[in-house]
C-alpha cells in the first residue's frame, strides 16, 4: 500500500484514544506487554515505517503477512495502525465499514466490559480510517482478510 494512504489512515486516529484518559493505568497496559508471540499485524507496506520506532522488530507469518513484535515499548507516535485502533476492529461488509470490538481483545481489555464508555470520537475516527483503507485496493484486500479473521475469532471466542 502506498505510504501516503497508510499515513492518512494513521492520522485519522491522530491522538484519539479509546477513552479520554490513559486507559493503560486501568489495567497495567495489558495490551502492550509484548513478547515473542505477541505480534501485531501490519498494514501492507507499513513495515517500511518500523525504522521510526526502534523498539519494533519485523516478523512474517507462514502466509507471508508482516507483523511487528515489540517488547512492550515503542515510540508511541509511530506505533502500528492496529495498535492505534485497539481494542476495536474494522469489518468490511459489502461497501460498508463497520466498527466492532476485536474479539481477541475481549479477554484482555477491560474497556470491552463497559463499551458504553468508549469515546464516540475514537469510534468515529476508526470508521474514517476504515473508509480510507477501503479506498485503496490493497487496503481493501487487507480489510477483507481482517474481516474474515475477526469473524473466525468471533466464532471461537464469542
Residues that bind ligand SF4 (CB under 6 A): 18, 23-24, 26-27, 29-32, 34, 40, 56, 68, 70, 72-74, 79-80, 83, 86-87, 108-111
Q: What residue has cell string 485503496? A: 136
CB of 152 to ligand SF4, least distance (A): 21
Nearer to ligand SF4, 18 or 89 (CB): 18
Question: Could you tell me which of 137, 45, 138, 146 has the C-alpha nearest to residue 90?
Answer: 146
Calculate ∠ Cα 143-146-148, nearest 5°.
110
24 vs 137 by CB, closer to ligand SF4? 24
- The number of residues making up the chain comes to 158
Q: How far is the CB of 101 from ligand SF4 (least distance, A)?
A: 11
Amino acid at each position: 500500500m502506498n505510504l501516503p494512504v497508510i499515513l492518512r489512515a494513521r492520522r485519522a486516529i491522530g491522538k484519539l484514544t479509546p477513552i479520554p484518559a490513559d486507559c493503560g493505568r486501568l489495567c497495567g497496559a495489558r495490551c502492550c506487554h509484548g513478547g515473542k508471540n505477541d505480534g501485531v499485524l501490519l498494514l501492507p507496506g507499513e513495515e517500511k515505517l518500523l525504522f521510526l520506532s526502534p523498539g519494533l522488530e519485523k516478523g512474517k507469518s507462514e502466509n507471508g503477512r508482516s507483523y511487528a513484535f515489540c517488547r512492550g515499548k515503542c515510540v508511541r507516535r509511530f506505533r502500528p495502525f492496529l495498535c492505534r485502533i485497539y481494542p476495536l476492529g474494522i469489518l468490511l461488509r459489502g461497501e460498508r465499514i463497520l466498527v466492532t470490538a476485536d474479539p481477541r481483545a475481549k479477554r484482555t481489555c477491560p474497556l470491552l466490559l463497559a463499551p458504553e464508555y468508549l469515546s464516540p470520537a475514537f469510534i468515529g475516527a476508526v470508521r474514517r480510517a476504515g473508509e480510507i483503507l477501503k479506498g485503496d485496493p490493497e487496503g481493501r484486500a487487507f480489510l477483507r482478510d481482517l474481516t474474515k479473521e475477526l469473524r473466525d475469532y468471533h466464532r471461537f471466542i464469542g
